[in-house]
Amino acid sequence: MKKTAKKDFLKNPVKHIDIKSFDSTKIIESMKEMSFTSRDTARAAEILNKMINDKDCTIILTIAGSTSGGGCMQIYADMLKYDMVDVIVATGASIVDMDFFEALGFRHYKGTPNVNDKKLRELCIDRIYDTYIDEKQLQICDNTIKKIADSLEKRPYSSREFINEMGKYLIKNAKKKDSLVELAYKHNVPIFCPAFSDSSAGFGLVVHQVENKDKHVSIDSVKDFLELTMIKMKAKTTGLFIIGGGVPKNFAQDTVVCAEVLGKKVPMHKYGVQITVADVRDGACSSSTFKEASSWGKVDTVFEQMVFAEATSVLPLIVSYLYHKRDWKNRKRREWSKFWVN
């Protein structure tokens, strides 16, 4: 029996859904008149469109989980391109291992959870549920991060600053154009990764620090928190669009409280939409409702909607609806990254 070779596992790349290629308006409008998760989905879409139409509202998208590698990468890029998002807070994996990784020319591959993981291990294939990645390519990604770090002035950076440099790098070196990281650089949309080292970036930066014992790039997560809070203080009206939960959710919510700690009273996040499969009963942040967050003074509860669903199944419907509504055409880019330019 012939052995399955690495290329047999890595032959069907994930293709990212293009929400411009179909119009979900009719579906969302129908779901509005149904019950359960369908109606929650429709209401989420409506609240998001309300954010887009609120001239004062800065929209913060937070991303945790693997939806970017799992087919939603183009959705996030389109949201940025078509001015539906002003700030991004994400896990390092979403930004570095997935988005930046594909910008370097690599791909995610369709696989199956029912596989011999020992075999994958031997072939250096990493699995995310039903999706495969070539670990050798991830190592190139790690190394690219190291090279970027090597080229920078040695001092503490916020993750936003470092990701900005990654965007700059892509302008010249991207194999795949219009990644989220590159578009964010171009359009001055800041991206924060509050646990930046917990990703491929961490590997590259650890090597950088080991090779540069005394003077090196470090990632100061306090600086992240301060910078995001400064945006909140300046923006005042904000809306959250939360994919997954985790640290990005908590981080974005906390800016309201942080502003207060800094002596500036700011309004709670005015809008809140979250898509998650988390279980509300374990007291973890990922699953906490907006009602709970309102007790902390973080999110208002007039325009809020939890959608309990795996995001790849409902996000395409929601964002296709937003795109085809075309209300984003009337928005003006916030370009929050300019905040820190000279």
Quote the tokens at residue 17: 């859904």
Binding residue for its own copies, selected from 17, 57, 170, 184, defined by CB under 8 A: 17
CB of residue 6 to its own copies, shortest distance in Å: 13
Q: Report, in Å, the least distance between residue 212 CB and its own copies.
A: 11
Q: Interface residues for its own copies in 120-179 (CB under 8 A)?
A: 120-121, 125-131, 135, 139, 142, 156
92 backbone dihedrals φ, ψ, rounded to 5°: -60, -40
Asked if 54 touches its own copies (CB under 8 A), the answer is: no
Cβ-based nearer residue to its own copies, 186 or 225 = 225
Q: In what order do the strands lie in the sheet with 131-134?
A: 109-110, 131-134, 125-128
Which of the residues 248 through 307 are near its own copies (CB under 8 A)? 250-251, 254, 257-258, 261-262, 277-286, 288, 291-292, 294-297, 301
Give the orientation angle of helix 36-53 with respect to helix 311-325, to 10 degrees.
40
- Angle, CA of 51, 55 and 59, to the nearest 5°: 40
Give the contacts of 135 (CB within 8 A, at least 6 positions apart). Answer: 124, 125, 126
Nearer to its own copies, 95 or 331 (CB): 95
Q: Closer CB to its own copies, residue 186 or residue 234? A: 234
Smallest gap from Cβ 14 to its own copies, in A, equals: 6
Distances (CA, A) of 97 to 140, 144, 191, 305: 11, 11, 15, 29
Helix (H) or strand (E) holding 227: helix 221-235
Nearer to its own copies, 42 or 103 (CB): 42
Amino acid identity of 11?
K
Site for its own copies in 87-116 (CB under 8 A): 91, 93, 108, 110, 113, 115
Instruction: Map the footprint of its own copies across residues 180-209, applying CB under 8 A.
Output: 194-198, 202-203, 205-209
CA 234 to chain centre: 22
Report the residue from 48, 80, 95, 247 that binds its own copies according to the rule CB under 8 A. 247
Assess contact for 102 and 161: CB atoms under 8 A: no
Q: Min. distance of Cβ 103 from its own copies in angstroms? A: 19
Which one, 188 or 252, has the nearer CB to its own copies? 252
Residues annotated catalytic, as ranges = 298
- Residue 111 in tokens: 């696989």
C-alpha distances in Å from residue 168, one per residue of 77, 131, 164, 174, 189: 16, 29, 6, 10, 13
Choices 15-23, 47-55, 178-186, 232-240 (CB under 8 A): range interacting with its own copies: 15-23
Task: Name the segment binding its own copies (CB under 8 A); options: 61-69, 178-186, 231-239, 323-331.
Answer: 61-69
